Amino acid sequence: MSKTLAQKIWDEHIVRRAEGEPDLLYIDLHLIHEVTSPQAFDGLRLNKRVVRRPDLTIATEDHNVPTLNIDKPIADPVSKLQVDTLRANCKEFGVRIHSLGDAEQGIVHVVGPQLGLTQPGMTIVCGDSHTSTHGAFGALAFGIGTSEVEHVLATQTLPLIPPKTMAINVEGSLKPGVTSKDIILAIIAKIGTGGGQGYVLEYRGSAIRALSMEARMTVCNMSIEAGARAGLIAPDEKTFEYIKDKPHAPKDFDAAVKYWSTLQSDSGAKFDVEINLDANELEPFVTWGTNPGQGLPLNSSVPNPADISDAEERGAAERALTYMGLTAGTPLKKIAIDTVFLGSCTNGRIEDLRSAAEILKGKKISSSLRMLVVPGSARVRLQAESEGLDKVFIDAGAEWRNAGCSMCLGMNPDQLAVGERSASTSNRNFEGRQGKGGRTHLVSPLVAAATALRGTLSSPADL
Partner 1 sequence: MEKFIKHTGTGVPLRRSNVDTDQIIPAVYLKRVTRSGFEDGLFAAWRNDPDFVLNKEAFKKGTVLVAGADFGTGSSREHAVWALQNYGFKVVISSRFADIFRGNSLKGGLLTIILSQEEVEDLWSVIESAPDTAITVDLESRTVSYNSILLTFEIDDYTRWRLMEGLDDIGLTLKQTDSIDSFEKNREEYKPKTIPVLK
**Residue 39 pairs with which residues in a beta bridge?**
none
Annotate each residue in 317-336 with x if it binds partner 1 (CB under 8 A) or - if it does not, as one string: --x-----------------
Whole-number Å distance between alpha carbons of 303 and 326: 10
Buried b (16+ CB within 10 A) or exposed e, 141-163: bbbbebebbbbbbbbbbbebeeb
145 binds partner 1 (CB under 8 A): yes
Residues 70-109 that bind partner 1 (CB under 8 A): 76, 78-79, 81-82, 85, 94, 96
Whole-number Å distance between alpha carbons of 351 and 225: 22
CB 222 within 8 A of CB 346: yes
Residues 16-35 that bind partner 1 (CB under 8 A): 16, 20-22, 24, 26, 28-29, 35
CB 277 within 8 A of CB 183: yes
154 binds partner 1 (CB under 8 A): yes
CB of 202 or CB of 351, closer to partner 1:
202
Stretch that binds partner 1, among 42-50, 298-306, 353-361, 379-387 (CB under 8 A): 42-50
Among 75, 255, 336, 394, binds partner 1 (CB under 8 A): 255
Annotate each residue in 271-310 with x if it binds partner 1 (CB under 8 A) or - if it does not, as one string: --------------------x-------------------
Size of the residue set binding partner 1 (CB under 8 A): 90
CB 273 within 8 A of CB 245: no
Among 312, 329, 367, 386, binds partner 1 (CB under 8 A): 312
CA 346 vs CA 107, 123, 221, 222, 236: distances in Å: 10, 20, 6, 7, 21
Whole-number Å distance between alpha carbons of 419 and 189: 25
Residues 170-229 that bind partner 1 (CB under 8 A): 193-194, 197-198, 224-225, 227-229
Among 349, 428, 439, 454, binds partner 1 (CB under 8 A): 428
Among 66, 120, 303, 343, binds partner 1 (CB under 8 A): 120
Taking alpha carbons only, the member of 385, 353, 346 closest to residue 372 is: 353
Number of C-beta neighbours around residue 236 at 10 A? 17
Among 409, 446, 448, 449, binds partner 1 (CB under 8 A): 409
Tell me the closest approach of the beta carbon of residue 126 to partner 1, in angstroms.
Answer: 8
For residue 101, the 8-state DSSP code is: T
Tell me the closest approach of the beta carbon of residue 239 to partner 1, in angstroms.
Answer: 12
